[in-house]
A and B are shown apart, each in its own frame.
Chain A
Amino acid sequence: MIPTLRILASGLAAVCLCASAAGEATPLTPEEIATATKTDDLSIPMPGEFMASLNKIGKIDWTKMFRPPIATNYTSREQMALNLGGLIADGYVAIEAEDSLQVKNIGKDILAIARTLGVSKDVLERGGSIANFADQKQWEQLKEELEATQNEVKTAMTERKDSDLVTLVTVGGWLRATEVMSGYVAKNHTDAGAKLLRQPGVVAFLNKRLGGLGEKVRGDATVAAVQKKMGELEKLISFPLERAPSGDDVKQLNTLTTEVVKDISRKQTK
């Protein structure tokens, strides 16, 4: 690995060479913007990024964001994938709260669902690491482990030709993270906090992915309910850049995300 000092020394030289070039770049055209690549790996922020930004606004009691344990034995694979994403977001909340027991319990639930989805072999080892890091209270390593776990689950799903489930894991995680963040901002409204909730690019990307799901997957009752509410969310979350969302805007967002997260965790009835 390159030592930091070497990087910084080279970097200072580079600053002198490149600073003017940055200012000379030509703006992007609307066509370029429209055709920019969007990927699950980089275009969708991880819950940890979202939480890092909120942590800068004030001291947050993350234990208040916990939710009661959810089921891990759904009959629908699609519903399991959505809940897997939600549990990963719960894992980030537990890490922010620095609650070892909660992290381990959520880790077990993640593995239980992953096992049912047939991808546990790839993540079992990660499950053990999560428990070890939690016991040792290594919170930063836990965040890395959780992100790596999510990516390994998605890779395993892709290899098993279950790409639609990858989308559902991402959607479930984003919804649960947004429920948590909007819930906090709704109760502790500040302009800076409310502005963090503006994510039009993310919702547009996720809705496009949802629209591209296979017919069978879209026919799942939970997926259909999520897709309907994600359409409403796209309108809600596209706050104008120049104005912070009001307290009512944030409450509305929180109500909708809370509803959809509950829909996701509620067992389907035949």
Chain B
Amino acid sequence: MKRLLFALALATATTTSPLRAASDDEVAARKLALEVAGAFSNDGFKIRDGNWGGKFVAGKSPLIQVNLYAGNQYWFTVGAAEAAKKVAITVFDEAGKPVVTDPYADTSVAAAGFAPANSGPYYIRLELAEGTPTAFCLIYSYR
């Protein structure tokens, strides 16, 4: 796991999109997300190698579709750069209804854990609740 985290952090230091260099904020956001997800991995969760990064924009909440399997357990973790003072993460089912999750939040990082009852598409919404719009990075883990 340490090997993977090192590789992921190294990759972030070089690029987020393959075609451009990552900013310091993007690197910080991903590092924070990986730190928290790394703790979940101690409980047997595998961190996916991919991630979704971007920048919070005032008045807009980034939303991404993921496709999950019933029986698996998942943790979604968002990290943001220091300018974000409070971030939140909400999971919705394919009909757009919020699902109950185990939440974790600590200033610029938040996570939501749950085990889907049905396989299919789900939606992850990220919110900047307090602070200045800055870079975010979402990763997920499963077991």
Contact = CB atoms under 8 A, between A and B. Distances in A.
Interface in A79-115: none
B71 A201 contact: no
Given A159-B18, A198-B119, A241-B118, A43 B96 contact: no
A116 B101 CA distance: 46
B51 A196 contact: no
A43 B66 contact: yes
B37 to A, nearest CB: 10
Contacts of A205: 65
B42 A42 contact: no
A1 B105 contact: no
A41 B118 contact: no
Interface residues of B, number: 60
Contacts of A17: 105
Interface in B87-125: 88, 90, 92, 94-98, 100-106, 111-112, 118-121, 123, 125
B19 interface: yes
A155 B64 contact: no
A120 to B, nearest CB: 17
B98 A147 contact: no
Contacts of A36: 63-65, 123
B39 A7 contact: yes
Interface residues of A, number: 66
A39 B72 contact: no
A159 B19 CA distance: 6
Interface of A: 1-4, 6-8, 10-11, 14-15, 17-19, 21-23, 25-30, 32-33, 35-46, 48-50, 52-53, 56-57, 140-141, 143-144, 147-148, 150-151, 155, 158-159, 192, 195-202, 205, 241
A2 B42 CA distance: 11
A49 B70 CA distance: 10
Contact of A28 (B7, B63, B69, B118): B63
Given A38-B64, A144-B49, A45 B69 contact: yes
Contact of A25 (B7, B98, B111): B98
